[in-house]
Structure 1
Amino acid sequence: MKKLMEKLLKPVSTANRIWLSLKVKRAMRVLNQRYMESHRQRYVRYLSTLSATQSDLSALQQKSQQLTQQKLQWQRQLNQANAEPIALLAAKRALKIAAIEERKYHQSMRRLGIEIEVIEDAIEQLRPYANANRNALFQTVIDLNTVKQGSTALRAAEPDQHYP
């Protein structure tokens, strides 16, 4: 880029000036494409992870509802089985198992909720970065155009020195 700027400031023929401007445009196009592609890939990766995590969360919520219903059913069985000691022990055991399973699924749901928040924060952090880089890219194009116009003005002011 530095060499290109030096070449723009030196006196050159019209053909070389056209060649240099095409070279600058091509370089800027390639830089812009690489930049946009890398950020698009990162954004797509975050979005796919987010959707997968949300589907996992909904599956866990359904499982939690099933476990809650099963727990209520076992609670009813426990109340009905007050007179029968064997059924009472089995119902208590089943109730403990249901409580443990329910705690496990609630912990998993909390973990997935935290993962979703982290991914959403990462996406939000990428947005200003993308805007800043895009603004810097536009400023570079403006600077190159200013240098080009300045060198053209210098050549126009003193044409005898540059062209024999």
Structure 2
Amino acid sequence: MTESDERGTTALILLGCPQVPVQTSVALYCAHGLRRNGIRPIVAGTTAARKLVEIADPERHYVDTFEDLDAVIGELAEKKRDADYCFVFAHNDSGIAYAGTISYLSQARLYVLLFGEHPEEVAAAITFPCEQITAKAVHNPMPLKRKIDEVLQWVVSKQ
């Protein structure tokens, strides 16, 4: 039984290194959009990335579950869990590696959110099936927010 069977539709939001400032606010915005549409967001990330999101949402309005990124990947590998959707935030090769791992381990519909100074160059490393959401966004979250709005409309219409 998957986690979605037990608790409704779920989405993993995977966060790597929070080096690029827009990651935290856009991850919270994505979680808000998912939750508003009946999809339970679960943030899995590095310690620093998780703590930034946790501190920004102290009353758990948008995310109620935070998990260690490596632990989640381990559970996916062991087939102990899966999700319906997965949003991987990627601004470097490490983000692409995490997304590729998810593509291999999970049945989730995979969205890779590519951002930073040169998202097209990072996107060129993708060799696995996924939906790519690309926006040059470092300090200003609006280009990536607009792309997420489009994707969330599509996700909600397919439920």
With normalisation by structure 2, the TM-score equals 0.18
Which structure is richer in relative contact order (CA contacts within 8 A, separation 6 or more)?
A: 1
Higher strand share: 2
Q: TM-score, normalised by structure 1?
A: 0.17
